[in-house]
Amino acid sequence: MAKLTVDEATLKQFDGVVPRHVAVIMDGNGRWAVQRGMARIRGHHEGANSVRRVVESCRYLGVEILTLYAFSSQNWGRPRDEVSGLMTLFDLYIKKERKRLLKNGIRMQVIGDRERLSPKLQKAIEELEAHSAENTGMILQVAVSYGGREEITQAARNIARDAVAGKLDVDAIDEDTISRYLYTRGRLDPDLVIRTSGECRVSNFLLWQIAYSELFITETLWPDFDEAKLIEAFEDYSRRQRRFGQTGAQIEDDGEDAEGADGPDTSVSEE
C-alpha cells in the first residue's frame, strides 16, 4: 500500500471553525474521465484517490464525522459494467485502506440498503465495521446503495410496526423518535454539506439529517478536489451564521449571553 501524503502546509494555514460533521456528495468522476477521453470507470478510480486525501485531511483537522455519498439507490440503474466496476472498486478500497483506517483510529460504518450488495462485499463491510468498532477517532460513514427517501420510508415502516406492537406510544412520536429509526441514529447531523461538480441539488442524500446544514457547492469535479478546496469550503463555513430558524439578532444575543456566562462563543458566526 503506497504511503498517503497530504499537503500539511495547506491544512496548517486554516485557523477557522472546523465543522464537527462534514457530508460530501462526491460528483463528477464520470465527467472528469469523459473530458479526458477515458472510460468512466477511470474517473471513479481517480475519485478514490480524492477519498483518501479528504479522509486523511478531515482527520488531520479534527472533523468528528465524515459522511461520503458513494453510491445511491438510483445508481443501480446505470450501465451494468459501470455498476460492477464501482462495486469492485469499493471492495478494493476496503481491502487496501483497512490497515490505514485501523491504524489511524477511524471507525468505519456503511449506511444504506446492504441487501442489494453481493454477499462477499457485505462480509468485507461487516468485518471492517467490527474491527473498527472500538476506535475512538473520526467516524467515517460511507453511504452505499443509499437513498434519503428510502431511509425515511423504512423508518416509517419500523415505527408503525413498533406502534402496532405496543412498543411505541403514537402520541409520543416526535423528531427524536424518527431520528432513532434512521441509519444514522445516534450521530450528529451534518454541519456542512459539500457538493462537487457544480450541480445545485442534494440528490436524495440525508434528506432528514441536512435540514439545517450549511451547503457549499464547488464547480470542481471530485477527482480534482484536494486539500485547498477542502479548506476553501471550511473557510466559507466559518463565515456563515447558523440560525436554525431564528433571526440573526437572536443568534447574536444568544452569543453575547453565552459569552458572558460561560466564556467566548465558538459557534460559527459572521466575522
From 27, 29, 191, 226, active-site residue: 27
Is 27 considered catalytic here? yes
The order of strands in the sheet holding 21-25 is: 107-111, 139-146, 65-72, 21-25, 192-195, 214-217
DSSP conformation letters of the chain = -PPP---HHHHHT--SPPPSEEEEE---HHHHHHHTT--HHHHHHHHHHHHHHHHHHHHHHT-SEEEEEEEEGGGGGS-HHHHHHHHHHHHHHHHHHHHHHHHTTPEEEEES-GGGS-HHHHHHHHHHHHHHTT--S-EEEEEEEE-HHHHHHHHHHHHHHHHHTTSS-GGG--HHHHHHTSTTTTSPPPSEEEE-TT----TTSSTTTTTT-EEEE-SS-GGG--HHHHHHHHHHHHT----TTS-HHHHHHHHHHHHHHHS---S----
Distance between CA atoms of residues 3 and 1, nearest Å? 6
From 15, 29, 49, 75, active-site residue: 75
Dihedral angle computed from the Cα positions of residues 198, 204, 207 and 211, in that order, rounded to the nearest 10 degrees: 20
Q: Are 185 and 158 in contact (CB under 8 A)?
A: no
Is 91 considered catalytic here? no
Residues with catalytic roles:
27, 75
